[in-house]
Amino acid sequence: MWGMRATTRCRVAVVSMPEASTPARQIAADGIPAVDVVDLTKDYRRPRVSLTTPGPVVHALRGVSLQVAQGQRFGIVGESGCGKSTLLRILAGLEQPSSGRVAVMGQAVTGRTERSLRFLRENLQLVFQDPMSSLDPRMRVRDIVAEPLVGLRLGGDHAARVAELLSAVGLDPDVADRYPHQFSGGQRQRISIARALAPSPGILLADEPVSALDVSVRAQVLNVLSDLVDTYALTLVLVSHDLGVVRHVCGRVAVMKGGQIVETGPTAQVYDAPTHPYTQALVAAVPTIGKALSGERAADLAAGVRRARDAAAGQA
């Protein structure tokens, strides 16, 4: 994947593609969503438990449908294992669904070969959760940031583009000769963001972009990400289990549980007046100063969450 590195440290093989002179963002016609997902499912089979018994099937996604408008900041929240990251990987073309349809900028993503997904690699990029494992420790920063340009065979002055992007994420261009281990976690994530922006994508996917960072630097990275979305007029799809992160960055949110979207709407509306019991449970679990001053303890929050989740299970 051009500029998309999974959480391993091996290099990704380059597939030969025609030359392209400059990165060109694809603009979909008016009214066509940037991302369109229809009835998406994804099943995984666990390893077999015996010679005669096949492994059980895990339903990671169950009929997920959503639309993200061009220029929108769309958040996806939910507990670990609810299918958030699986959905994001399918949107990025890193996995194929079991059934359903995904279109990006009006072009189908599902059911296509890797070679035919060049339009997706130029117009959609992904920022992974852990910057340390998503950056090759053997590569210098200049080569990491320029990797999508080289992989997509995009022309132009790569050195100037790298310097521009490093400045945009708040790093001195002089650090381009360093290696990832010479940076802090927040700085490494800034490098990951710069790499994702290298081919001038129109859509940026962010999978828990600050969950691996210290609390002290999370706000800084989120502010950088938010400013870049505005500067480059990006469509942002951000996945997080932290409701505060999504509320800070996104204007619309979808809540996932058990591979399904249980509630969606404007962020303020979903957070301030949630209608689904599971969303109510998530909101109730967020500690606040008011709750602390009222004497509410962590055990009280947990008890309230359990009651709300039991009610949600009864509605399922």
Residues 207 and 310 in one domain: no
Domain around 301:
274-316
Here the tokens at position 201 are 């994508």
Q: Is residue 239 part of a domain?
A: yes
Residues 111 and 205 in one domain: yes
Whether 13 maps to a domain, the answer reads: no
Separation of alpha carbons 68 and 47, rounded Å? 35
Neighbours of 162 (CB within 10 A): 22
Instruction: Assess whether 192 and 293 both reside in one domain.
Output: no
Domain CATH code at residue 216? 3.40.50.300
Q: Do both 284 and 194 map to the same domain?
A: no
Beta bridge partners of 252: 74, 266
Question: Quick one: 198 and 289 in the same domain?
Answer: no
Helix axes 158-168, 141-151, angle to 10 degrees: 120
Give the type of residue at 79.
E
Query: Do 230 and 306 sit in the same domain of this protein?
Result: no
3-state class of 261 per DSSP? Answer: strand
Residue 19 lies in a domain: no
214 with 234, same domain: the answer is yes
Both 260 and 305 in one domain: the answer is no
Q: Which residue has the tokens 């960072």?
A: 213
264's tokens = 């969606």
In a domain, 18, yes or no: no
Residues 156 and 297 in one domain: no
Q: Which of 90, 22, 35, 94 is nearest to 234 (CA)?
A: 35
Q: Identify the sign of the CA torsion 228, 233, 235, 241.
A: positive
Same domain, 238 and 113: yes
Q: Is residue 137 part of a domain?
A: yes
Q: Tens place of pLDDT for every residue, the chain, 316 residues?
A: 444 444 433 333 333 333 333 444 555 556 799 999 999 999 999 988 888 888 899 999 999 999 999 999 999 999 888 999 999 999 999 999 999 999 999 999 998 988 899 999 999 999 998 888 999 999 999 999 999 999 999 989 999 999 999 999 999 999 999 999 999 999 999 999 999 999 999 999 999 999 888 888 898 999 999 999 999 999 999 999 888 889 999 999 999 999 999 999 999 999 999 999 999 888 887 776 655 556 555 555 556 555 555 655 666 5
Please indicate, yes or no, whether residues 305 and 205 belong to a single structural domain of this protein: no
What pLDDT, on a 0 to 100 scale, did the predictor assign at position 308?
57
Counting the structural domains of the chain, the total is: 2
Instruction: Report yes or no on 39 lying in a domain.
Output: yes
**In whole angstroms, how large is the CA radius of gyration of the chain?**
20
Sign of CA dihedral 182, 186, 191, 192: positive
